[in-house]
Structure formats: structure tokens, C-alpha cells
Amino acid sequence: MEIINFTPFPALVGGMIIGLAAAMLLLSVNKIFGISGIVSCLLSLNKNDSFWRILIILGLIIGAAFGHWVFATPKVENFRSYPYLVIGSIIMGFGTRYGGGCTSGHGVCGIARLSKRSIIATLVFITTGSITVLVMRLLEIGK
């Protein structure tokens, strides 16, 4: 089992930056910073508000690349396989649309607005994710 390097300062600063970005989007275009909603509406037939959605997606890509370059973040080495990635992504995409939002929409914006639905959704996906990690680690121990 690998030991995870706990770094609270970057997590704190990163969380504050995410919160600032969510507040800026809400104040500028009166929209919630939920990535699944931003992407799915970008792919819909309603193209009236595509410009800001495209800017958000570009900003995510450029920001992640810039952050990787500046902070030399490590490569992900615990990669299983492309079928796991594809199946997991489809399940996650379906779940976020069915549940009316993703971690950024419910966890950051919904909880900040004291939305009961978002608080419940966040508790459910954190619990489910924690159980999944626990099961996966227990399965690895037996190898």
C-alpha cells in the first residue's frame, strides 16, 4: 500500500482558488460552476450561451497544463486500463446528469448555497468513493 504525501497548504490554496472561480462565474453570468452541466449544455442544441462555456473548458485545460508546468505535478502511475476508464467515465457522466450535478456543482456551489439536495448528494458521492477506495485497496492487499 502506498503512503500518500499529505500537503494541506496547496489543498487549501487550491480550494480557495476554486471557490473564487465559482463566485466569479456566479457574479459574472449568474451560472453555477458545475462542470457536468457546463459540458452537457455545451453539447446541447441551445447555442445561445456557448461562448462562456467554451471559455470555462479552455480555462480548465490551460489552467491544468499551466499548474502542471509550474508545480511539476507527478504523473498518475496507478492507471488500470482504458476499459476501466471508459466504463467509469460513462457511469460517472450518467450519474452526474441523473443526480443533477457533479462534485463541483453540488460540493462547491450547492453546499455554499445550503442546498439540502447538494448536501445529500455530496455525502453520497463521498461515501461511495470512500467505500470504493477501501474495497480496491483490500483487493490489492490480497495480490
| Residue 21 CB burial class (10 angstroms; 0-12, 13-18, ≥19) | middle
Which runs of consecutive H residues, i.e. helices, occur in the chain?
8-29, 35-42, 50-71, 82-98, 111-112, 116-141
Write down the domain spans for the chain. Answer: 8-141
Per-residue pLDDT 10s for the chain (143 aa) are 455 677 788 889 888 998 999 999 989 988 888 888 888 888 776 677 788 889 999 999 999 889 888 887 777 666 667 888 888 888 888 888 888 888 888 888 888 889 999 999 999 989 998 998 899 888 876 55
Q: How far apart are the C-alpha atoms of 113 and 98, rounded to whole Å?
A: 20
Q: State pTM to two decimals.
A: 0.72
Q: What phi, psi does 100 have (nearest 5°)? A: 75, 25
Longest dimension (CA), the chain: 53
